[in-house]
Amino acid sequence: MDPGDTNAAFGLGFNILVNVLTLTGLMIGVVGVPADDVLGTVLPALGVALVLGNGYYTFLARRLARRDGRTDVTALPYGPSVPHMFIVVFVIMLPVYLTSGDAVRAWEAGLAWAFVIGVIVLIGAFVGPLIRRFTPRAALLGTLAGISLTFISMRPAAQMWDAAWIGLPVLAVILIGFLTGIRLPGNIPIGLAALLLGTAIGWIGGYMSVPDVGAAVSDIAVGLPDLRLDMLASGLRDLAPLLATAIPLGVYNFTEAMSNVESAAAAGDAYDLRSVLLADGAGAVIGSALGSPFPPAVYIGHPGWKDAGGRIGYSLASGVVVAALCFLGLFGLLSALLPLPAIVPILLYIGLLIGAQAFQAVPRIHAAAVVIAVLPNLASWAAGLIDNSLAAAGTTADQVGQEALGNAGVVYDGLNTLGQGAVLAGLVLGAVVTFVIDRRFLAAGIAAATGAALSFVGLVHAPEVAWAANPQVALGYLLMGAVCVAAGALRGHPSPADAGAPAETPADTPAAAGVAQVDDPGHAPGPPAADVEPVLDRPAGGTERG
């Protein structure tokens, strides 16, 4: 690998490392699955998925490089999905464990849930490209920015500031190395240098514990993947309760993948969406058959790794290394050796770049659409934080009461409703605002009507999939659409504001709306409109920008 690939491989490897450490702790500490089963079955299954998935995305990157005759193509990153980790543990497995007291039964429910997620993503491979073709780029990237700023960035930021004397110097190394292109002596990879610095500070400062390392060494055990079809079949026997979350989360998976592919296209690498979705769905199905309840997915962050110099080989290298750690059972030892505040700043860096890209890769006039697409994920994150805080206190929002919460300044019901189905909700709201800005009022009305249909069946703004899940919100979207359509009838009567409309963004052009207009629906849109700024205008590490 060239220095850029090495640099990005370390960064992505630490990203995946954090996530695997997290899911390991959740399985053992929350669900009560024995450490031997987690290290001997779950992690090896995840290792298989990492090798297969990253190998496949390396193949796609090579194919794209040959097709375009380019040397600066960056492979898509791949690993265990962060939001799904917490959802499958706290929404699926933990309730089963608390009810039955059986950790294995809870594990089986998680496997069945992951399998259903994979099947839904496979189905989405055939409808996702069509959805992407007609969805404005501002809605896609705004939704992705919402996920990145909340679920990817906020937890690492909190973990950093919990030990800021470790996390902030590490963040400084990452920012200087990745954003300025300054090279370290001997071309030491930025990610490695950052990790070594943070680890040294943590150990010197007494943050880490020698006895913990000794205990972790005793838990090392080689684990080889094996089929767990009996556990999967057992979990699928009680499938009905899982569908309420599996269906919307499966839809979430393919819409998030759709946004990630659009993000890569905005950075210069136009991947085929159907190929990506088929890989993600297959990874979830294979992982569940081998014993992993954590569906892998294309990661947020392609532009960040591209800017760090990553090309075709970085993702596969990081996947192989992390997979080897999974097979060798070394994650317990790593968690005892490496301070968490030294690892998580890389996630914050990725969040910064994705948030920036959402504004840089769309016409400036669509900035408001990006912001509104962020809001549902912000609401989902805030509502989840409230729920977790109340659960830690042994209560719930219903027990506390909406009046008491409201008196404390917490608009819980509104946050919870806005945040349900956040990815789809962000796409809908971002599309409505984009079309309104471009004065495509009929298209805005259709987008609002889509929001009404999704609300009515519970895919957005409702706690579960059901008929008439939230008719009030559905009615609100219908009325919103009616207003937009009525506004279209007034287009023949210009208002004084028309005189100031920006001439460089034609109202009815697909480019202005950021819509992917392609012959092959799996391919990304062509060059952006004239007023689109580059995603990042400064190359990192001396590498050529795509």
pLDDT at 167 over 80: yes
Percentage of the chain beyond pLDDT 90 is 30
- pLDDT, position 493: 52
* Cβ atoms of 27 and 89 closer than 8 Å: yes
| Mean pLDDT within 331-352 | 83
Q: Are strands 78-80 and 296-298 parallel, antiparallel or unpaired?
A: antiparallel
pLDDT at 238 over 50: yes
CA distance linking residue 400 with residue 59, whole number of Å: 53
With tokens 């300044």, the residue in question is 409
pLDDT at 408 over 80: yes
| Mean pLDDT within 279-298 | 91
Give the distance from CA 84 to its chain's centroid. 9
CA distance linking residue 14 with residue 10, whole number of Å: 6
In 290-345, DSSP assigns E strands to 296-298
| Mean pLDDT within 92-102 | 85
Which residues are CB-contacts of 341 (< 8 A; sequence separation ≥ 6)?
159, 160, 162, 163, 164, 166, 167, 170, 198, 202, 207
- pLDDT, position 509: 40
pLDDT tens, residue by residue, 423-479:
789 889 999 999 999 999 999 999 999 999 999 988 889 887 789 999 999 999 999
* Cβ atoms of 459 and 421 closer than 8 Å: yes
Which of 429, 397, 400 is closest to 413 using CA atoms?
397
Residue 420: DSSP 8-state: T
pLDDT tens, residue by residue, 57-94:
999 999 999 999 998 999 999 988 776 787 788 778 88
CA distance linking residue 374 with residue 423, whole number of Å: 9
Q: Reduce the secondary structure of 108-138 to three states and give it as a string.
A: HHHHHHHHHHHHHHHHHCCCHHHHHHHCEHH
